[in-house]
Amino acid sequence: MLETIIVIAMLQSVEGLPKGIHCDFPAADTGGKPVRVVLDPMPSLKDQPGLYRVMMEIEGKLTLKAAVQPIKSTKERDVLIRAKSPREAIVTLGMRADGAAALTMSTPGAQTAKTQSTRIGACKGAEHHINRWLPS
């Protein structure tokens, strides 16, 4: 009986955790389409201090494995999330503890030049995860 109560309490605490991080990046111009990114933290036994795993879903169409690490070169509480697609496209998302974010997408172009776009936006639902990823 006591074991059942403990299992139910554990399941309820897991259900109370945030269900991912939702980031919205409006278009730079008025005719462009906004970009939505959903980050799903995937805690793993292979996580190392300062390097965490997440799944990054872009526009509900592309899902990439990504890594989160603290940005140590700034005074802000912020993280860098980086993913690389099989076709060598690189997606980076910088996020501060207050939810402000920047998304950069780089795709390989001609032999030396790269096409790159950056958008400024905001993320919601990151508070719990930021506290786990960043030291106090």
pTM for this entry: 0.77
Residue-wise pLDDT tens digits, 48-67:
778 899 999 999 889 999 99
Pick the more confident residue, 1 or 28. Answer: 28
Predicted pLDDT at 47: 72
The pLDDT value recorded for residue 109 is 62
pLDDT at res. 53: 92
Query: Above 90 in pLDDT, residue 29?
Result: no
- Mean pLDDT, rounded, for 98-113: 77
Buried b (16+ CB within 10 A) or exposed e, 72-84: eeeeebbbbbbbe
DSSP string, 41-109: E---TT-BTTBEEEEEEETTTEEEEEEEEE-TTSSS-EEEEEEE-TTS-EEEEEEETTSEEEEEEEEE-
Q: Say how far apart CA 133 and CA 54 lie, in whole Å.
A: 11
Looking at residue 111, what is its pLDDT?
A: 44
